[in-house]
Structure 1
């Protein structure tokens, strides 16, 4: 790991410089650099008393639009609820993701390729932007997910015999614990459970798979149970964690900063009875965008089935698992009813492993370039719609067209990745 020390130091320093600039930018410009979610986190953290955490964590949901685990608010409250200190924490977590990517890659490829994988994340401008604007995704999801992958990579490389021993059970248990924590914090990592379970079974047998399942149950179940317990301290009949952090995501309607084409019905619903947050304003949208998302479920299931690990050679299952994580996450995000910029890092983190499973980068990089162009087109249209008053004629139609093009490019990227993985005999 000594070979990436310099990159870790440089990339962390770069993030700290951007954080320092963000303080100046926020004070000098009308459009702030810091994400509005950062202030939501801090508002929630200010309502939680770390000395009496269990009895006060439910108060985090008194902050408007706070939809995360109250353990995040407790963590920030304990470490100091301030914009700069919170960003520093998120940046450190972001760099830790790069270290864990290196830990995964060095188990299955050459040291030089492992460093390439790490640097693809450490110097990724989108990852730097998301972390320095104040997104918790690196700390709450990417660190535990990559830690789970690192534990599995060590298990896969070792190729333990199918016999009971502590070493063989410890790694899948650790992997399950990390994945369970990630699923509790951000929900979407639950996607990785079934394919990882199959991979663990192929790598080390039934006992290891059972240990992984127990780890998932503990890692996800214990913090969820604690959060549900804190709901009992809320007002009678009120279940803020259950309502705002879990059930809310099954019926979320969002017409601001949403890349998905589903934003248009929510946007139009504003003209059917007031603001989109009112019951009259969401009725029309809920019929269209708040129901089950069957195309998304079908696409995720299909990509998982196509990429689920099955090879028995040491290291091969880790490569397959990375492709499975990447493609299933891209499919999930591409067809989700709400897509924000933070969601991109969910799959871009696995794109960092490109050097170990794809020797032909041209197709993937070309698809990424087209996706970036579609991203820029959407931003240009959405800026006119959201920040220009009154918005230009046809701004909503152009933004919707850009959303459709954006989703199409994401689906194309999934197909290209699957095709290249097959050509490289990863699957």
Structure 2
């Protein structure tokens, strides 16, 4: 609740600055115009427009902020120090729990990462470690964890260095998030620094984010890559964006879903192409009109920025994969990419496909049409085609949030770590969202999201720890309930963007 209150109070802190005065005046004027017009739809649309630099999102009724709490956001240092302190505390607690409890704090994935790093340190392949399904880059980054033998204390320090890296990545992702929130321009919020830090705290001070990173999951690194990619795109740094996109897809497959949205957003007008006006012109005399129209559409779409983004990102992706293939051969392709097409993971899985995957694991030859091979079709149609086409030109950051939310919700494997993929983008949407505009709706959505997870975890606990067969109907119904709650939230996100009107 602290994190939600941080968001809802982001525009209610006391300030004597002129920017807040202008915000209050514009808010009163907007409400007056809405009341006189009597058009609620129009009013909602006005609330969803991008905020000019120095303004703030709509305020919600909230308790007055204490001076100490307000001081947390006045300057960057207190916020980032608090975020670092939270992660340090969890790291130390994790060491204690690992040493004293049969239920370990360290995620099993971290043991896989560090084992792979140990193989690399010996000159072997990271894929010699069974179940390592990641790029070798991750094992290379964790090479310090392979240093052992000095003393038990230093062995523990070196072993935890990967967790420190992931926790530090959380902070970098939060800093990039704050930068995007304060940036002004087309499709950007342009919040004042204090408001931006309050929304960035949804990521930085989120105990779920901090726990997942300090347990040894690498999602913080993905947060850095995605936020750096979005920052580069919004700043029109096309070459850098291409490099980041290519590397991100190599590091973890799912960021490829952002390519259609970014390409669609990069039209000639938005990118300031010198040929934008020429490409809008009518066909030259004597040309076949239909042929000219087709050629015109192709040339209009193939702007220099789009071509450069495609060339740089594809070259980066191909070169990285070629280097890894030369180093590690076919196992690299098999474990890093091909494995995910036929992956079956029925444990710790919120997906509604969970029960079917469980049955498929028991009877692998039950059907010629394997569900794990076709389950990706709905998520790809939605996240790679429909959502980019409909939302990207209206609001690219929120379109990327909707894409990621869809990809995770409809994925055949859905674990808690995957929630971080869209949580890092959530603060970019919340300032102008229905969830913040209507506090009751926001709290209800949060409660439903947490409760539906809790119901699933209750069934999962019975299965994993008590040995009860809860697959049917309990676990399946819980998975379906969580899926429906996510679909409802996704519908609100999409509706918020559509209310903005034409791009």
TM-score scaled by length of structure 2: 0.71
Q: How does 1:124-273 map to 2 (within 5 A)?
A: 124-139=206-221, 141-155=222-236, 171-202=237-268, 203-204=270-271, 205=273, 206-232=303-329, 239-269=330-360, 272=362
CA shift in 2, pair 1:154/1:2, >3 Å:
farther
Q: Which has the larger radius of gyration?
A: 2
Instruction: Specify which of 100, 111, 119 is matched with residue 39 of structure 1.
Output: 111
1:85 paired residue number: 161
CA deviation after TM superposition for structure 1 residue 285, in Å: 7.6
C-alpha distance in 2 between matches for 1:79 and 1:33: 17
- Please tell me whether the aligned partners of residues 121 and 146 of structure 2 are also in contact (alpha carbons under 8 angstroms): no
CA deviation after TM superposition for structure 1 residue 71, in Å: 1.1
Instruction: Specify which of 452, 471, 476 is matched with residue 374 of structure 1.
Output: 452
C-alpha distance in 2 between matches for 1:257 and 1:356: 32
Q: How does 1:332-371 map to 2 (within 5 A)?
A: 332-358=407-433, 360=437, 362=439, 363-371=441-449
Instruction: Specify which of 347, 354, 378 is matched with residue 295 of structure 1.
Output: 378
- Please tell me whether the aligned partners of residues 357 and 424 of structure 1 are also in contact (alpha carbons under 8 angstroms): no
Report 1 or 2 for greater relative contact order, CA contacts < 8 Å, sequence distance ≥ 6: 2
Q: What root-mean-square deviation, in Å, do the aligned CA atoms of Structure 1 and Structure 2 show? A: 2.2
CA deviation after TM superposition for structure 1 residue 354, in Å: 3.0
CA shift in 2, pair 1:63/1:177, >3 Å:
same
Please identify which structure carries the higher helix content: 1
Instruction: Specify which of 18, 22, 27 is matched with residue 90 of structure 2.
Output: 18
The question of 1:420 aligning with 2:496 is answered yes
C-alpha distance in 2 between matches for 1:187 and 1:367: 29
C-alpha distance in 2 between matches for 1:218 and 1:361: 45
Instruction: Specify which of 306, 324, 333 is matched with residue 390 of structure 2.
Output: 306
Q: Structure 2: 5+ residue runs without aligned partners?
A: 1-72, 148-157, 185-189, 274-302
CA deviation after TM superposition for structure 1 residue 215, in Å: 2.8
- Deviation per residue, 1:44-95 (Å, 9 max, x gap): 0000038x6xxx4xx1011111100011101111575643111000000011
C-alpha distance in 2 between matches for 1:65 and 1:16: 29
Q: Structure 1: 5+ residue runs without aligned partners?
A: 156-170, 233-238, 273-280, 311-319
C-alpha distance in 2 between matches for 1:289 and 1:228: 29
2:5 paired residue number: none
C-alpha distance in 2 between matches for 1:45 and 1:26: 21
CA deviation after TM superposition for structure 1 residue 104, in Å: 0.9
- Please tell me whether the aligned partners of residues 173 and 224 of structure 2 are also in contact (alpha carbons under 8 angstroms): yes
1:70 paired residue number: 136
